[in-house]
Amino acid sequence: MVDILQSIIPPALFFSAPLIFTALGGVFSERSGVVNIGLEGLMVMGAFVGIVFNLTFADVFGDWTPWLSIIVAMVVSAIFSIIHAVASVSFRADQVVSGVAINFLALGLGVFLTKQWYDKGQTDMVTKPFYTMDIPLLSKVPVIGDIFFQGIYLTSYLAIILAFVAWYVLHKTPFGLRLRAVGEHPAAADTNGINVYKMRYIAVIISGAMGGLGGSVFALTIALNFSHATIVGQGFMSLAAVIFGKWHPLGAMGAALFFGFAQSLSVISAGVPFLEDVPQVFLLIAPYVLTILALAGFVGRSEAPKANGVPYIKGSR
């Protein structure tokens, strides 16, 4: 049993980390009332920047390169997401439309620049990706150590820790209360002296940073290079995790973990006794079918934040 868990849990954490980061970003944005279909594009931007930085500066920064890469990717994606913020907050654009534009723009820019800088459709493989490691001390704990603390990427833990940080920020601080108020009833929040536009800008920029983090972590743990096919749908899966998790940081994390777990099943099925005989296709579609069943069955009606998707116009009723 421990063997089986040991072969399931580390890959599950590995696959879900990028989704957790991005979904947390989605929670911030949507909780402030800005729909973010653009998560996919923000991940593309993060993956692109992460890979390019890593390739360019691997010799300069050595083993610190992957960490610096994800930080730079966060910053660039955060700046990139300002486009979405300007369109959907200041220009009162349809937020879905603007998000779709972000997706097209990120992919177009990423591949365009890749072709210009590297003269081919995809970059080289990075030389300094993240590696798995055993956590000192904790990996020695019997049973638990084997399952949770051996051969794990540090970024997986970072994702789970950040989910709790996001929960604390959103639900336990004045800033979080204001952010949620802006998403539920912007006019009331405005009356109470909260700057609706500023809060929404901040929320979208946070989602940009988190999307960039998710994309770059995906690129530096799973893909290891950048091409048009690096990020294909992970952003949409993260969006699904946001809705599945009912716009709650921990819920989103749970949903992302579930997706990661289901994805890892199809990868490792060959080594697990019950799953060996199941045709591959059932394992491949399992995460998606289960999500639909779960939503239809016990999760029930998903109520978005009240003002989600509605541009706030000062003075309107």
Partner 1 sequence: MASNKLFNILVPIISVLLGLIAGAIIMLVSGYNPIAGYTALWNGAFGDLYFMGETVRQITPYILTGLAVAFAFRSGLFNIGAEGQVIVGWLAAVWVGLAIDAPMIIHLPLAVIAAAVAGAIWGFIPGILKAKLGVHEVIVTIMMNYIALYCTNEIIRSVLTDNMDSTEIIPPSASLASEWLQGLTFFSRMHYGILIALFAAVVMWFIMQRTTIGYELKAVGFNQHASKYAGMKVSKNIILSMVIAGAFAGLAGAMEGLGTYGSISVMSGFTNLGFDGIAVALLGANTALGVVLAAILFGVLKVGAINMPTGAEVPTELVDIIIALIIFFVASSYIIRWILLRFKKEGK
Q: Which residues bind partner 1 (CB under 8 A)?
A: 83, 87, 91-94, 96-98, 100-105, 107-109, 111-112, 115-116, 228-229, 232-233, 236-237, 239-240, 243-244, 279-281, 284-285, 287-289, 291-292, 295-296, 300-302, 304
Report the distance separating Cα 237 and Cα 255, nearest Å. Answer: 10
CB of 159 to partner 1, least distance (A): 21
DSSP for 86-99? IIIIIS---HHHHH
CB of 24 to partner 1, least distance (A): 17
Between 205 and 239, CB nearer to partner 1: 239
152 three-class SS:
strand
CB of 262 to partner 1, least distance (A): 11
CB contact set of 207 (below 8 Å; sequence gap of 6+): 25, 26, 28, 29, 36, 39, 42, 81
Between 187 and 299, CB nearer to partner 1: 299
CB of 112 to partner 1, least distance (A): 4
Between 152 and 223, CB nearer to partner 1: 223
First to last CA, the chain: 60
List residues bridging with 172 in a β-sheet. Answer: none
Report yes or no: 130 and 155 within 8 Å, Cβ to Cβ. Answer: yes
CB of 291 to partner 1, least distance (A): 5
Between 14 and 244, CB nearer to partner 1: 244
Q: What number of helices (H) and strands (E) belong to the chain?
A: 12, 0
Q: What is the CA angle 231-128-106, rounded to 5?
A: 25
Identify the DSSP state of 220.
Answer: I
What is the residue whose two structure tokens read 């890892």? Answer: 264
Among 211, 258, 267, 223, smallest CA distance to 21 is for 211
Among 202, 205, 181, 184, smallest CA distance to 193 is for 181
CB of 151 to partner 1, least distance (A): 28
Between 125 and 289, CB nearer to partner 1: 289
Between 9 and 239, CB nearer to partner 1: 239
